[in-house]
């Protein structure tokens, strides 16, 4: 992510003379040098804008630089905001308005009107913010001194979201199946997703993957089996079943790379013509390598998973499914029939082979593990409401398992809702949240809210502040706005 660039533009004007402008540039460079070392991306001072032509030229440079994922703006002095209109109307990348200041404390004993003219961010940032509001330009406001840790944490989150937004624009998902027959929530408008998020979602008959599987060599399988042996504990004598999964993994990865660079894919246990097992271990290991995955044809969760996995730096992020409750403890046991990412594993995952009671295929090899605990995590769902996509973000706590589950042959996670069990479940159901989610203990709520703002989509947050009556009012209001 450090290769990605966020440009910094300072706003000013010529009214105060060359000396002040030299100070403005010098201070801006000093601030950016401090900030860039503390960000996941590279922050570069671009220029100080003093008129419309300079603002427009800066925006064009930002738009045309493929490595640039966003822009941070700040006004050191006053900066008349009509000069920003022509440029900002052309801006095509996320904008963060950092309401900061060069000095931290007022120089009480020496302050005079020269100081006031040079250091009037409070004044200049209000003029600039008005024009952002007037243009209805989605943007982030971060407030605080540029060395303040809390402000930098908010800016850090915004940079992650901006990088995720740029990544999202190029996401391609390969569908080896349509959505499962009769299932509603995994459906959605693929053209709308392409327009809003940049997701290209393409279908290929499973027969084309079967060709790739047929061309996999023993040498390739041997190589991958060595990798499995390093990463996982082999807890089965049925090595043939494991080699079958290795074959699928090699074939799927080659297919995705050779057919245009897909970074996500879906399959469906009912569409496996030509495969002997449901891909389990194969899908799990591909998720460990950061590929997005959706079961039962769920392309939305595959794309969202790929984006969030990138934002998380490939840690503790992946597909999850709300499966069954422990009502005595108010917990949810999340799992899937096979395909849970080993990024969630508490200990070294075990490769095991067990029957699968669905699909009528041979016993598939899979990774089995208990999930991690984490005080902060999110479960995210995306649903198509007919008049637009809704992003639902539930704040959860990943909890340790109270007892062993020796007969559960899958990877799993266990969690509690920040809002408490009853309200957490009720809120999720009122919002129409799906059974498939992307869970992450690395991607933060702030990062998801920032990327949702960049996508400009309806967003619902569920946590300890959630009040069910207010939530239903908000959903009704959102619906009213969206349908206009
Ligand atoms: Mn499912």
* Interval 387-425: pLDDT, tens: 999 999 999 999 999 999 999 999 999 999 999 999 999
Distance 295 CA to ligand 1 centre (A): 6
What pLDDT was estimated at residue 479?
A: 86
How close is the Cα of 127 to the center of ligand 1, in Å?
50
- Distances in Å between the Cα of 392 and the Cα atoms of 179, 262, 304, 445, 475 are 21, 25, 12, 11, 11
Residue 48 CA to ligand 1 center (angstroms) comes to 52
pLDDT in tens, 149-195: 999 999 999 999 999 999 999 999 999 999 999 999 999 999 999 99
For residue 266, report the distance from its CA to the centre of ligand 1, in Å: 11
Ligand 1 centroid vs 349 CA: distance in angstroms?
21
What is the distance of C-alpha 256 from the center of its chain?
A: 21
How far apart (Å, rounded) are the C-alpha atoms in residues 260 and 10? Answer: 40
Q: How far apart are CA 363 and CA 276, in angstroms?
A: 9
Token couple for 408? 């559960």
If you write DSSP's letter for every residue of 297-350 in order, what string do you get? Answer: G-HHHHHHHHHHHHHTTSSSEEEEEEEEEETTTTEEEEE-SS---GGGBSSPPE
Separation of 428 CA from ligand 1 center, angstroms?
Answer: 17
Residue 83's pLDDT is what? 95
* Distance from Cα 413 to the centre of ligand 1, integer Å: 15
CA of 220 to the centre of ligand 1 (A): 30
- Ligand 1 centroid–CA 436 distance in Å is 6
Q: How far is the CA of 161 from the centre of ligand 1 (A)?
A: 27
Q: Rounded to whole angstroms, what are the CA distances from 295 to 42, 266, 273, 319?
A: 36, 6, 16, 9
How far does the centroid of ligand 1 lie from the alpha carbon of residue 180, in Å?
Answer: 10
Residue with tokens 């074959």: 247
Helix axes 239-258, 281-288, angle to 10 degrees: 50
pLDDT score, position 359 = 74
Task: List domains and CATH numbers for the chain.
Answer: 5-168 (3.40.50.10940), 172-483 (no CATH)
Per-residue confidence band for 304, with pLDDT thresholds at 50, 70 and 90: very high
Give the Å distance between the CA of 391 and the centre of ligand 1: 18
pLDDT of residue 283: 98
Joined together, the tokens standing for residue 107 give 């120089």
pLDDT at 216: 97
The pLDDT of residue 358: 79
Distance, in Å, from the CA atom of 55 to the CA atom of 132, rounded to the nearest integer, reads 14
Would you say residue 481 has pLDDT above 90? no
**Distances in whole angstroms, Cα of residue 310 to Cα of each of 149, 229, 264, 294, 400:** 24, 26, 12, 16, 26
Average pLDDT over residues 74-83: 93
d(C-alpha 334, C-alpha 312), whole Å: 20
Give yes or no for residue 483 having a pLDDT over 70: no
More confident residue, 17 or 213: 213
Instruction: Return mean pLDDT, the chain.
Output: 96
What are the E-state strand segments in 24-156? Answer: 42-49, 68-75, 95-99, 140-143
The H or E element spanning position 160 is: helix 149-168
Q: How far is the CA of 263 from the centre of ligand 1 (A)?
A: 20
Dmax over CA atoms of the chain, in Å, equals 83
How far is it, in rounded angstroms, from Cα 206 to Cα 186? Answer: 19
* Mean local confidence (pLDDT), 442-461: 97
Task: Single out the residue of 267, 182, 161, 188 nearest to residue 432, CA to CA.
Answer: 188
Burial 205-232 (b: 16+ CB within 10 A, else e): ebeebbebbeebeeebbeebeeebeeeb
Question: pLDDT value at position 6?
Answer: 98
Q: Which of the four pLDDT bands, split at 50, 70 and 90, describes residue 139?
A: very high
Tell me how far the alpha carbon of residue 175 lies from the centroid of ligand 1, in angstroms: 15
Measured in Å, residue 212 CA sits from the centre of ligand 1 at: 26
Distance, CA 298 to ligand 1 centroid (Å)? 8
> How many whole angstroms from 463 Cα to the centroid of ligand 1?
24
**Ligand 1: centre distance to CA 348 (Å):** 24
- How close is the Cα of 375 to the center of ligand 1, in Å? 25
Extract the tokens encoding 352: 């095991």
pLDDT at residue 75 tops 80:
yes
For residue 409, how far is its CA from the centre of ligand 1 (angstroms)?
A: 16
Q: Are 202 and 172 in contact (CB under 8 A)?
A: yes
- Give how far Cα 449 sits from Cα of 45, 172, 414, 463, Å: 26, 23, 24, 14
| pLDDT score for 484 | 55
The CA 373 to ligand 1 mean position distance, Å, reads: 22
- The predicted model gives 354-358 an average pLDDT of 88
pLDDT at 211 (0 to 100): 97
Nearest residue to 45 via CA among 117, 120, 98 = 98
Span from the CA of 396 to the centroid of ligand 1 (angstroms): 20
Which residue is listed with tokens 């649903």? 383
Ligand 1 centroid vs 405 CA: distance in angstroms? 21
Gap from CA of 90 to ligand 1 centroid (Å): 42
Q: What's the pLDDT band for 360 if we cut at 50, 70, 90?
A: confident
- Check residue 217 and give its pLDDT: 97
For 435, other C-beta atoms within 10 Å of its C-beta total 18
Per-residue pLDDT tens for 218-249? 999 999 999 999 999 999 999 999 999 999 99
Mention every residue, 6+ apart, whose C-beta is less than 8 A from residue 131: 81, 82, 84, 85, 88
Compute the distance from residue 186 Cα to the ligand 1 centre, in Å: 9
Q: Quick one: average pLDDT of 372-396?
A: 97
Length of the chain: 484
pLDDT score for 22: 94
Instruction: Please state, in angstroms and rounded to a whole number, the distance separating the CA atoms of residues 155 and 153.
Output: 5
Whether the CB-CB separation of 284 and 339 falls below 8 Å is answered with yes
| Distance from the alpha carbon of residue 174 to the mean position of ligand 1, in angstroms | 17
Give the Å distance between the CA of 424 and the centre of ligand 1.
20
How many other CB atoms are there within 10 angstroms of residue 333's CB atom? Answer: 18
CA of 336 to the centre of ligand 1 (A): 6
**How close is the Cα of 287 to the center of ligand 1, in Å?**
16
Distance from Cα 73 to the centre of ligand 1, integer Å: 43
Range list of H helices, 372-432: 421-431
């Amino acid at each position: 992510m450090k290769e990605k660039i966020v440009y910094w533009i300072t706003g000013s004007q010529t009214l105060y003379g060359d000396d002040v402008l030299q100070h403005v540039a010098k201070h801006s460079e000093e601030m950016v040098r401090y900030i860039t070392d503390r960000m996941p991306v590279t922050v570069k001072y671009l220029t100080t804008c003093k008129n419309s032509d300079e603002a427009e030229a800066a925006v064009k440079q930002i738009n045309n630089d493929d490595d640039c994922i966003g822009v941070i703006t700040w006004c050191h002095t006053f900066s008349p905001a009509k000069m920003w209109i022509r440029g900002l109307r052309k801006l095509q990348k996320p904008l963060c308005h950092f309401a900061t200041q060069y000095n931290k404390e007022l120089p009480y004993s020496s302050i005079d009107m020269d100081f006031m003219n040079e250091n009037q961010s409070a004044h200049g940032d209000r003029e600039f913010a008005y024009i952002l509001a007037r243009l209805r330009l989605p943007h982030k406001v971060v407030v605080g001194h540029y060395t303040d840790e809390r402000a930098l944490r908010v800016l850090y989150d915004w940079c992650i979201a901006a990088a995720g937004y740029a990544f999202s624009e190029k996401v391609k998902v390969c569908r080896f199946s349509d959505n499962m027959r009769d299932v509603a929530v995994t459906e959605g408008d693929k053209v709308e997703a392409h327009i809003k998020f940049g997701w290209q979602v393409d279908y290929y008959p499973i027969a084309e993957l079967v060709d790739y599987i047929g061309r996999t060599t023993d040498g390739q399988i041997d190589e991958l089996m060595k990798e499995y042996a390093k990463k996982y504990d082999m807890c089965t004598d049925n090595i043939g079943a494991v080699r079958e999964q290795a074959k699928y993994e090699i074939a799927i990865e080659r297919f995705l790379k050779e057919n245009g660079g897909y970074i996500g894919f879906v399959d469906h246990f009912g569409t496996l013509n030509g495969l002997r097992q449901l891909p389990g271990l194969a899908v799990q290991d591909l998720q460990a390598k950061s590929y997005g995955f959706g079961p039962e044809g769920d392309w939305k969760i595959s794309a969202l998973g790929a984006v969030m996995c990138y934002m998380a730096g490939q840690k503790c992020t992946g597909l999850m499914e709300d499966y069954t409750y422990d009502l005595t403890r108010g917990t949810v046991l999340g799992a899937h029939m096979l395909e849970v990412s080993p990024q969630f594993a508490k200990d070294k995952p075990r490769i095991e082979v067990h029957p699968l009671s669905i699909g009528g295929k041979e016993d598939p090899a899979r990774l089995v593990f208990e999930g991690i605990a984490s005080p902060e995590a999110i479960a995210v769902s995306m649903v198509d409401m007919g008049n637009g996509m809704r992003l639902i973000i539930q704040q959860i706590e990943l909890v340790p398992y109270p007892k062993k589950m020796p007969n559960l042959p899958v990877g799993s996670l266990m969690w509690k809702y920040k809002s408490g069990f009853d309200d957490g479940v009720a809120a999720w159901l009122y919002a129409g949240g799906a059974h498939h989610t992307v869970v992450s203990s690395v991607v933060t709520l702030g990062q998801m809210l920032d990327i949702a703002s960049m996508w400009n989509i309806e967003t619902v947050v569920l946590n300890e502040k959630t009040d069910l009556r207010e939530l239903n009012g908000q959903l009704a209001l959102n619906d009213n706005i969206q349908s206009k």
